[in-house]
């Protein structure tokens, strides 16, 4: 009986820790979003490109470096969609560890999910 209580308590504690890590990833994603906003204003004001689907992050190299310098987060980001002017982020993804954070501008939503491999099968030989 005591062992069962210990196992249940450990599961609850691990769940709380996982949820705390998810909140950290969400905070970091919001930091990236704000850095992208600031970079988009600068790019628009200087009439230079903001997005570049061929470059890492889905943004131009200058914007990518600007965002990395501004926010110094441990994860990676990718801009998926901008509005018609090409400078306002409509959708983005931020990944950090096992967590994936998605942002959608209209309506404003943030979604944090955990990548868990339920089945991993190797090719039969």
Two tokens, residue 118? 């339920």
Identify whether 123 is part of a domain.
Answer: no
Classify residue 124: in a domain, yes or no: no
Looking at residue 87, what is its pLDDT?
Answer: 96
- pLDDT score for 122: 63
Determine the Cα–Cα distance for residues 114 and 26; give it in Å rounded to an integer.
12
Domain extent at residue 110: 2-114
Residue 119 in domain: no
Residue 17 lies in a domain: yes
**32 inside domain:** yes
Question: In the predicted model, what is the mean pLDDT of residues 98-116?
Answer: 91
Phi-psi region of 120 (alpha: psi -120 to 50; beta: other; left: phi over 0): beta
Q: How many domains does the chain have?
A: 1
Residue 92 in this model has a pLDDT that exceeds 90: yes
Q: What is the pLDDT of residue 115?
A: 78
Asked if residue 122 is part of any domain, the answer here is no
For residue 8, whether the previous peptide bond is cis, meaning omega lies within 30 degrees of 0, is no
The reply to whether 59 falls in a domain is yes
Contacts of 44 (CB under 8 A, 6+ apart): 50, 85, 87
Q: HSE-up of 103 (CA within 13 Å, CB side)?
A: 26
In a domain, 125, yes or no: no
pLDDT digits (tens, 9 = 90+) for 3-50: 555 555 555 655 667 788 999 999 999 999 999 999 999 999 999 999
Question: Tokens for 14?
Answer: 């691990």
């Amino acid at each position: 009986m005591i062992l069962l209580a210990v196992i249940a308590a450990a599961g609850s504690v691990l769940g709380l820790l996982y949820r705390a890590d998810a909140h950290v990833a969400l905070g970091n994603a919001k930091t990236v979003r704000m850095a992208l906003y600031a970079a988009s204003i600068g790019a628009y004001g200087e009439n230079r490109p903001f997005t570049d689907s061929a470059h890492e992050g889905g943004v131009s190299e200058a914007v990518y470096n600007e965002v990395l310098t501004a926010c110094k987060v441990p994860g990676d980001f990718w801009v998926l969609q901008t509005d018609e002017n090409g400078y306002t982020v409509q959708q983005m993804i931020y990944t950090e560890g096992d967590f994936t954070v998605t942002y959608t501008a209209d309506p404003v939503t943030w979604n944090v999910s955990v990548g868990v491999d339920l089945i991993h099968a190797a090719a039969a030989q």
